[in-house]
C-alpha cells in the first residue's frame, strides 16, 4: 500500500486524470464508496484501451483493466492524505 502525505488539490489531480481517461477511452466504475468522519474509502475499476503513453509505455491498442482501493483523509474540505493499492493498467 502506498501513502502520499503531500496530495495536490483534488481539482489538479482530477483534471489530469480526466485528460488521461479521455485519451485512453477509459471508463471508471465506482464499486464501493464509504465515508465516516474524516475518512473516505473508494474501490474502483478502470477499463479501456491503451491508446496513449502510460507510465512511459507507448500505446499498445490492448484492452486494459485496473482495480484500485483509495483511502482519503479529509481536512477542511481538502484531501490531506491518500493511501492507495491496486494493480497497474498494463499488468
Nearest to 4 by CA among 72, 65, 56: 72
pTM of the model: 0.65
Domains defined along the chain, listed by start: 2-86 (3.10.450.50)
Q: What share of the chain is helix, strand, coil (3-state, %, to 5)?
A: 15, 55, 30
Task: Report pLDDT digits (tens) over 45-57.
Answer: 888 888 877 777 7
Residue 60 has pLDDT above 70, yes or no: yes
d(CA 16, CA 47): 17
87 or 64: which leads in pLDDT? 64
Residue pair 59/50 in contact (Cβ under 8 Å)? The answer is yes
pLDDT computed for residue 85 by the predictor: 84
Residue pair 68/89 in contact (Cβ under 8 Å)? The answer is no
Residue pair 55/61 in contact (Cβ under 8 Å)? The answer is no
Amino acid at each position: 500500500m502506498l501513502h502520499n502525505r503531500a496530495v495536490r488539490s483534488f481539482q489538479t489531480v482530477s483534471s489530469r486524470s480526466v485528460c488521461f481517461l479521455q485519451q485512453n477511452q477509459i471508463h471508471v466504475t465506482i464499486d464501493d464508496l464509504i465515508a465516516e468522519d474524516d475518512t473516505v474509502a473508494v474501490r474502483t475499476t478502470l477499463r479501456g484501451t491503451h491508446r496513449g503513453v502510460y507510465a512511459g509505455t507507448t500505446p499498445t491498442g490492448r484492452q486494459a483493466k485496473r482495480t484500485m482501493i483509495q483511502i482519503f483523509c479529509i481536512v477542511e474540505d481538502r484531501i490531506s492524505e491518500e493511501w492507495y493499492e491496486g494493480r497497474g493498467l498494463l499488468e
